[in-house]
Amino acid sequence: MGYILTIITIVTLVIINNSEISDGYRILGLFPLNGKSHFVMCEQLMKTLAKKGHQVDVVSHFPLKKPFSNYRDFSLKGSIPNVVNNLTFQQFNQFTQGSFKHFVDITGNEICKLLNHPVINNIIKNPPNDPPYDLVIVEVFAAHCYFAFGRHLKVPMIGVSTAALYDWISEPIGNPANQAIIPGAFSGLNFKMNFWQRLKNTLMSHIIKNGFNYYVSEQSKFVDQYFGPGYPGIYQLSKEFALLLVNSHYSINGIQPLTQAVVEVGGLHIEDSGIKLDTDLQQWLDESTKGCIYISFGSMVKIESFPIETLKAFYSTFRNIAPVRVLMKIANPKELPPDLPKNVMIHSWLPQIQILKHKNVQAFVTHGGLMSSLEAIYCGVPMIGIPLFGDQIINIKSLQERKIATSLNYKNITESEFTNTVKTVLKNTEFRENVKKLSKLYYDRPLSPQDTAIFWVEYIIRHGNVLRSPAIDLSWYQVQLLDIYGFIFLVIILVIYLLILIIRGLIKCVFGTKKRNNKEILSKKKK
């Protein structure tokens, strides 16, 4: 009897397991940008979908080092240089001073050229049909040529924005962007703006949006070349998203109107796996009883490439704050100047969440990248921001408003300024109290970012493009009601004009009659 029950149990489990697999969807993830910091969120999303039982095919430059169930890599590794631990001070400084066209060329047009890569080109020419794809997920940044895949494969398309909404994203998906309360990603403004700041924000937002759309429209040539004729322009393809997952949350990015097709999943990339630190690093942190500050400028930037004057200011500050210790991520320690202070430990790569969670880590010196900022908030660690480019400036400004971070200008860091800033954050308990309060607010949600993303991804596969905003079908002046206001203005002008004519007519009639009567009286008297 026991033997029969065992067989029945095994068969039941097999049936259940097979039903789960058969119910899973096949999803194509397209992430051709060669920046690791962008891919972190995309990778976590695809892993989460794979865990749920969906078959995910992931096109990226960063194939997994270990096999992951239901996750298949379509590797672009080696096709173009990856931006990982190799962005020098001179390079990012030139990037920040470059034109908007230069930005679109590097992060958009160059990425579109990868449509010719055998891995991607094979998907275009020979899409699978055993089973076919049910959904396409693509990063929304500057390579909009990849938006043609949804139409090409005849499936819904979901976008992933690894930062808060950029100026050029809202309009094509019908999202009500409001420059009065939402500072542009490149404006460098706070959320509370006076008249002149709102004017600057409005002008900058329209200039950036129109400039981006103008330069990115050139990508239509890639769509025509690799997908064939008959596809709409790039801007029209941008309207074809069924959903947009955005790495933002109102507690940090402000209260703003969002259409149902925009879902905030800020912090989705964070996976607290509980991996233990190396023994020597764990011991060093445990022994940092006077406190420790952690320094990292993300996955791309080489701190050791900063000007020698800046690095000397760093060294002097580290000596000034001793016995507080410093843990710093340095890609190539050999490129650092000599005489590294004794209270400093350096590593080429560090498990950031595990570091930030350590009880002795009291501050985080960061470039203000969104992923790093969210991890610091998750772990309740105040920040010293040294923003370099992109959305890092507005990220740090937002954190400054909430008094969980301070800010320094990377171009002129001095020993006294850096020392005073670090000591202020270490000694003022308000910073740590504020970041812990924000951490609770940020993660107090009905569903985790991962579960939220899973629900809406599956929702779109089940129901299709049902969240499409009707604003997409209107012109910009119709969305802003300029035609309505113009019509009302014309009606008011017409009514006023008619009233003037009527009043003039009445005046003329009354005074004209009176004048004629007076003339008649005078005429009779003369007779």
> pLDDT digits over 51-60, tens only?
999 999 999 9
Measured CA to CA in angstroms, residue 243 lies from 138, 263, 295, 375, 474 at distances of: 11, 8, 36, 25, 19
pLDDT of residue 7: 42
pLDDT of residue 15: 41
Alpha carbon distance 450, 374 (integer Å): 15
Determine the average pLDDT of the residues in 505-519.
Answer: 72
Lowest pLDDT segment from 7-11, 89-93, 299-303, 464-468: 7-11
pLDDT of residue 325: 96
Cβ 58 vs Cβ 43: under 8 Å: yes
pLDDT of residue 353: 92
pLDDT of residue 521: 65
Determine the average pLDDT of the residues in 212-222.
Answer: 95
- Give the three-class secondary structure for 209: helix
Structure tokens at 148: 């043609």
Alpha carbon distance 236, 385 (integer Å): 38
Cβ 426 vs Cβ 432: under 8 Å: no
pLDDT of residue 527: 57
* Whether residue 510 has pLDDT greater than 60: yes
Per-chain mean pLDDT for the chain? 89
pLDDT (tens digit per residue) in 363-420? 999 999 989 999 999 999 999 999 988 788 888 988 998 999 999 999 889 999 999 9
Lowest pLDDT segment from 96-100, 342-346, 507-511: 96-100
Q: How many CB atoms lie within 10 A of CB 437?
A: 14
User: What percentage of the chain reaches a pLDDT higher than 70?
Assistant: 91
In the block, tokens 């990063």 appear at 139
| 286 Cβ contact list (under 8 Å, min separation 6) | 360
| 44 Cβ contact list (under 8 Å, min separation 6) | 268, 269, 270, 271, 450
Element at 362 (helix H, strand E): strand 361-366
Lowest pLDDT segment from 217-226, 231-240, 329-338, 511-520: 511-520
Alpha carbon distance 61, 48 (integer Å): 19
pLDDT (tens digit per residue) in 322-332? 999 999 999 88
pLDDT (tens digit per residue) in 16-26? 443 344 469 99
Alpha carbon distance 235, 6 (integer Å): 59
pLDDT (tens digit per residue) in 298-312? 888 889 899 999 999
Choice between 12 and 169, residue whose per-residue pLDDT is larger: 169
Cβ 47 vs Cβ 74: under 8 Å: no
Report residue 361 CA to chain centroid gap.
Answer: 27
Lowest pLDDT segment from 38-42, 157-161, 271-275, 297-301: 271-275
Element at 310 (helix H, strand E): helix 308-321
Alpha carbon distance 312, 495 (integer Å): 73
pLDDT of residue 5: 42
Cβ 402 vs Cβ 376: under 8 Å: no
Per-residue confidence at 159, pLDDT binned at 50, 70, 90?
Answer: very high
pLDDT of residue 192: 83
pLDDT of residue 443: 84
Q: DSSP secondary-structure letter at 105? A: I
- Give the three-class secondary structure for 168: coil
φ, ψ dihedrals at 395, nearest 5°: -60, -50
Cβ 120 vs Cβ 153: under 8 Å: no
pLDDT (tens digit per residue) in 59-103? 999 999 999 999 999 999 999 987 777 777 787 776 666 677 888
Cβ 231 vs Cβ 223: under 8 Å: yes
Determine the average pLDDT of the residues in 474-479.
Answer: 88
Per-residue confidence at 244, pLDDT binned at 50, 70, 90?
Answer: very high
pLDDT (tens digit per residue) in 135-154? 999 999 999 999 999 999 99
φ, ψ dihedrals at 493, nearest 5°: -60, -45
Lowest pLDDT segment from 5-14, 159-168, 246-255: 5-14
- 229 sits in the region (left: phi over 0; alpha: psi -120 to 50; else beta) called beta
* Whether residue 265 has pLDDT greater than 70: yes
pLDDT (tens digit per residue) in 266-323? 999 998 777 788 899 999 999 999 999 999 998 888 898 999 999 999 999 999 999 9
Element at 325 (helix H, strand E): strand 325-329
Give the chain's length. 527
pLDDT (tens digit per residue) in 196-213? 999 999 999 999 999 999
SS3 content of the chain, % helix, strand, coil (to 5): 55, 10, 35
Measured CA to CA in angstroms, residue 524 lies from 510, 514, 517 at distances of: 21, 15, 11
| 138 Cβ contact list (under 8 Å, min separation 6) | 29, 30, 31, 146, 147, 149, 150, 157, 158, 159, 160
Alpha carbon distance 114, 357 (integer Å): 39
Structure tokens at 396: 């740090």
Element at 266 (helix H, strand E): none
Choice between 500 and 522, residue whose per-residue pLDDT is larger: 500
Choice between 157 and 390, residue whose per-residue pLDDT is larger: 157
Cβ 374 vs Cβ 165: under 8 Å: no
Query: Which strands form 135-139's sheet, in the order they lie side by side?
Result: 71-75, 55-60, 26-30, 135-139, 157-161, 243-246, 262-264
Cβ 150 vs Cβ 133: under 8 Å: no
Cβ 357 vs Cβ 379: under 8 Å: yes
Element at 75 (helix H, strand E): strand 71-75
Determine the average pLDDT of the residues in 170-181.
Answer: 90
Measured CA to CA in angstroms, residue 182 lies from 159, 187, 212, 253, 267 at distances of: 21, 10, 19, 9, 20
